[in-house]
A and B are shown apart, each in its own frame.
Chain A
Amino acid sequence: SQQGEEDPQALSIQEGENATMNCSYKTSINNLQWYRQNSGRGLVHLILIRSNEREKHSGRLRVTLDTSKKSSSLLITASRAADTASYFCATDGYQAGTALIFGKGTTLSVSS
């Protein structure tokens, strides 16, 4: 399988705390993306980081990428109950980017 792995599989925090999720992947990439999935819904794109970038910010999201370790992390600062969802990393390593390879996801639960 070419799938990556997210760690942890599940994360429970209180509102206001930071949430960190990690992703490891197997193939060389041009970029890595993070998606969010609310329960029973489709996936929504959050942020994309290119292979020549080490860190990227978008609002309360911070993504890092270490291509030498084939790993990435997603930090959500000052979490809110609305951040409760599953989070997936995805790489473009399949057939030169024609389709994405997803990890198994981290389920984040933020309680108020």
Chain B
Amino acid sequence: NAGVTQTPKFQVLKTGQSMTLQCAQDMNHEYMSWYRQDPGMGLRLIHYSVGAGITDQGEVPNGYNVSRSTTEDFPLRLLSAAPSQTSVYFCASSAVRQLGGEAFFGQGTRLTVV
């Protein structure tokens, strides 16, 4: 049971480039979310999803897109990377039956935009 898998673990982008951060979970969880973690800022919610085909914006959605075509996958797209998007990105999932309950996190993607 792999849990939540994020790829890649590290990425360096040039300003203006686009890329997709992948997130997959094998626990059949309905809820998935993306966070970014910056020094001294804790984790801030970017986008989240309550099920396949349903996504919504979090606290800091600008510059990011998401889609949820399957229960398992929740990719995060950076359309035109900016230095301000340098951060560590975490994907998390949780089950509906535990509303507000335990979330499972991936190991993170460390992104640097130069």
Contact = CB atoms under 8 A, between A and B. Distances in A.
Contacts of B56: 95, 98
Contact of A45 (B4, B59, B102): B102
B102 A42 contact: no
A7 interface: no
A92 B105 contact: no
B44 A3 contact: yes
A64 interface: no
B56 to A, nearest CB: 7
A1 B99 CA distance: 22
Contact of B101 (A2, A31, A41): A31
Interface stretch (A52-60, A71-79, A100-108): A100-108
A54 B17 CA distance: 49
A3 B106 contact: no
A2 B100 contact: no
Given A41-B108, A42-B107, A88-B43, A102 B50 contact: no
B108 A104 contact: no
B100 A97 contact: yes
Given A98-B31, A104-B41, A30 B99 contact: yes
A87 to B, nearest CB: 11
Interface in B58-102: 58-59, 90, 92, 99-102
Interface of B: 4, 31, 33, 35, 40-45, 48, 50, 56, 58-59, 90, 92, 99-108
11 contacts: A1-B59, A2-B59, A31-B100, A33-B101, A45-B103, A88-B43, A96-B99, A98-B48, A101-B45, A102-B43, A104-B41
